[in-house]
Amino acid sequence: MCSIGAVALDEDYNRAEVFTVNLEFPPAAAHKWDDNTMEWWKQWPEQWEAHRYSPLPVVDAMQMFADWLDEMVEGKPLFVAWPVGFDWGFVNDYFHDYLGRNPFGYSPLCLKNYAAGVLRNPAMLGGSREEALMPDGWLVTPESIGLLPHIAINDAIAQSMMIRNIMRYTG
C-alpha cells in the first residue's frame, strides 16, 4: 500500500475532514513486488511520485489513521470504497498486521453495490463499465473534479461526493 486517503462526512454527507498519509514500504515488501503492478505505475509517473513524498513508517501511519478515525467518528466508522474488494484488502491487512485491530471492524460497503441496490439495477454489478449505468450527477471521478486519479485522497474525495449524491437521492 502506497498511501491512505479518507474523508469524514458530516450528518448532511458533506466533507467534514480529510486524512492522508504516504507509507514507507516495509522491508518485507521488497520481496513481494508484482511486476504487473509496477508496469501499471509506469503510466502514472506523477501519481507514483506523489505517493513517495514524505512517507512515514507503516506502524506510525496506521496509528495516525486509527487515531484520526477515533477523533472523527462516534462509534464504528464505515469503510466505503469503489472497488471495495481492492481497497479493503489492503487497509484491513495493514491494520491487523501493524496494530492488531481494524477500527472499521469487518463490514466494508462497496459503493458500486450500494448504488446498484438503491437503483435496483443488478446490471451494475458486472462488467468493467458499470459506471456508465450511474444516473446523471451520481458519478464523480477525480478527473471530473480537477484532481489526478490514482492518488488515495483524490479517490476518497471523489467517492465521498458520490456517497453524498446517492444519499441525497434516497432522501
Hey, what's the cell of 55?
Answer: 512517507
- Rounded to whole angstroms, the Cα distance separating 114 from 25 reads 33
- Rounded to whole angstroms, the Cα distance separating 34 from 171 reads 44
- Rounded to whole angstroms, the Cα distance separating 3 from 47 reads 11
In the beta sheet, which residues pair with residue 18?
7
Q: Is the dihedral of CA 109, 20, 15, 74 positive or negative?
A: positive
150 closest CA partner among 30, 27, 25, 51: 51
User: Is 51 annotated as catalytic?
Assistant: no
- Backbone φ and ψ of 113, nearest 5°: -65, -40
Catalytically active residues, by annotation: 150
